Amino acid sequence: MKRFRYTYIVMAAVTAAIAIIAFSCSGENRSAADGNGPSEDSSSHRFPDTLRVATLYSPSSYFIYRETPMGYDYDLVKRLAEDKKMVLDLHVAPNLNAMVEMLDSGKVDLIAYEVPVTSEYRNHILPCGIESITHQVLVQPKTSDKSKRINDVTQLVGREVYVEANSKYHQRLVNLNNELGGGIEIKPVDRDTMITEELIAMVSEGQIPLTVVDSDIAKINRTYYSDLDITLEISFPQRSSWGVAPSSKWLADSIDAWIRQEQPSKVQAELLKQYFEMSKQQPAYVIDFSKGRMSHLDPLFREYSRSINWDWRLFSAMGFTESRYDSAQVSWAGARGVMQIMPSTARSFGLDGNRIVNNRENIAVAAKIISHLDRQFASLVPNAEERKKFILAAYNSGPAHVLDAIALARKLGYDDKVWFGSVENALMLKSKPEYYNDPVCKYGYFNGRQTYQYVHSVLATYDQARKKVPI
């Protein structure tokens, strides 16, 4: 992978809005739809050697996962830079308005984030690239019983709907309630208490009945919670797009022409599927301990656990949680093999090609990763047993976010050397802008819920194995 140069802007509070993305794989964009090709102006320009791009941390646009930069907008603009042989100079802005100011001042050439196409931004941004459309949607439990499913906004009368207080979702419900003549039981939730992503999780878990979010946010979160129904639209459509300065129409035309090409269109469709359709849930399997073993891979976990001085059953519990011992499994992020190792990580340990799915080599590299993490966290968490929890978390999320969580825990007065009830809680806070934009956090947004659950799941499996499988 090419090495890109990243410039990070000091971050303050980020807006709750995230990238708005159309979820058809048609590859249509604004220019393609109206039949306009590149203007004459574009023919007299060429792409610069360095493309300065602004974006925001968000679950769709840009984030770090297992030390790998990811995100729909990031991956697409990275492909643009690669195709045009440009260096990608990425600036992560603190919020949408700051990003627009960066474009106005000439600090960046392109906003790779779906900016709402509204009168507020019309004089500052010329839309380009894929045009996206979103709605606010009702998030409700999925059910086959049509009598229990809300299919029309009139059915919200008499129902409780939880939303972030003073958010656009709150305002939309207030307006809708007025249109219906009242009756919707709107339950505003203080943002300091929880955010939209947490409300979605609470619907899935049955803690609240309903919430309202943008359709792109809903689609991303449905990859974690397949038991949700997000089909009911309750607002007018909102258009959004990448953007350049109005004086750079040639660049807008060039990007439009690029995205209409066959390969970029295929890449865009693949990215939509990766980020908005591929499940991030782990099936609820259980290990059969009846034969006094964990899996057919027991000998390999026994062998390589010696190099890390771990109980092999704990090491094996990681393999079960990662892949259910399935060497053919490929995650939504591209992690592969029994131990779900990212290809870039595998290469850094000398493992490439199809060797990554070889059980022995995959498990051997996982042991090397654990050993590396153990050294990395040794001074921060001196207690070896406690440190294993931090290593499990870092294996799942990448060490960067765990280091952020340690720093955040220290600042908030938590015990930064204890995982349960302390650093794990700080990690969960990294999905909130006021925390991931804190100066002590160096690696931005992260949805810590999956990592939180991962550590608990691995240790629960390990506890069962200790009772049923001899060491």
pLDDT category of residue 16 using cuts at 50, 70 and 90? very low
pLDDT of residue 217: 92
Per-residue pLDDT tens for 31-50? Answer: 433 444 444 455 567 889 99
pLDDT of residue 130: 81
Joined together, the tokens standing for residue 240 give 């959004």
pLDDT of residue 248: 95
Angle, CA 254 vertex, CA 91 and CA 239 arms, to 5°: 70
pLDDT of residue 312: 98
Per-residue pLDDT tens for 340-390? Answer: 999 999 999 999 888 999 999 999 999 999 999 999 999 999 999 999 999
pLDDT of residue 240: 94
Tell me: pLDDT of 20 over 60: no
453-469: average pLDDT: 96
How many percent of the chain have pLDDT more than 90? Answer: 78
Range with the poorest average pLDDT among 191-195, 253-257, 389-393: 191-195
Contacts of residues 418-423 at CB distance under 8 Å and 24 or more positions apart, as own/partner, are 418/386, 419/386, 419/389, 419/390, 419/393, 419/455, 420/389, 423/390, 423/393
Which structural domains are found in the chain, ordered by start? 5-132+239-276 (3.40.190.10), 136-229 (3.40.190.10), 298-468 (1.10.530.10)
Q: What is the mean pLDDT of the chain?
A: 89
Whole-prediction pTM: 0.82
For the chain, report the end-to-end CA distance as a whole number of angstroms: 42
Per-residue pLDDT tens for 109-134? Answer: 999 999 999 888 989 999 999 889 99
Per-residue pLDDT tens for 264-273? Answer: 999 999 999 9
pLDDT of residue 39: 44
Q: Residues near 327 by Cβ (< 8 Å), separated by ≥ 6? A: 337, 338, 357, 358, 359, 362
pLDDT of residue 41: 52
Per-residue pLDDT tens for 218-261? Answer: 999 999 999 999 999 999 999 999 999 999 999 999 999 999 99
Tell me: pLDDT of 159 over 70: yes
pLDDT of residue 12: 35
Neighbours of 8 (CB within 10 A): 12
Joined together, the tokens standing for residue 282 give 């782990």
